Amino acid sequence: MESFTPLTAALGGALIGLAAAVLWLGNGRIAGISGIFGQLLPPAQTVVWRVVFLVALIAATFAAAQLFPALGVGGETPARLVEAPAAWGVPTPVWLAIAGLLTGLGTKIGNGCTSGHGVCGLARLSLRSLVAVLVFFGVAVITVTVTGVV
């Protein structure tokens, strides 16, 4: 892992934790992106805060990418989307669409995503979240091993 940057990793983790704590303390909600996004369609009674949260999430990511193009990458090359393994013969847009659908399916089956279980659930000492995170990491290791994409 040649691009390991502990300072930016710690700063990013602290910001994620702060955002989760602010949402929990200010709104009584868990910062699980799949749950926040999943309640937009069909619209839940509380749509406004969900839209504000998601727009802020995307805007902050875009702003960070523009202000610090090499942040977390370990060099001067800006971050970019991963490409599909050439040996598999699947175009990258199709690869990304399949990955997104499988991620959505997994969050539905697991009743949450990495942010909900890994950040908020573990912080609340939830056994269900611990099991979910262990499964997430196990599947990630298997996926990287099989595809060779890091």
Radius of gyration of the chain (CA): 17
| Model-wide pTM > 0.95 | no
- Cβ neighbours of residue 37 closer than 8 Å, sequence gap 6 or more: 50, 54
pLDDT per residue over 89-116, tens digit each?
A: 889 899 889 988 888 888 888 888 888 8
% helix, strand, coil for the chain, step of 5? 65, 0, 35
Regions of the chain with pLDDT less than 70: 1-4, 71-79, 149-150
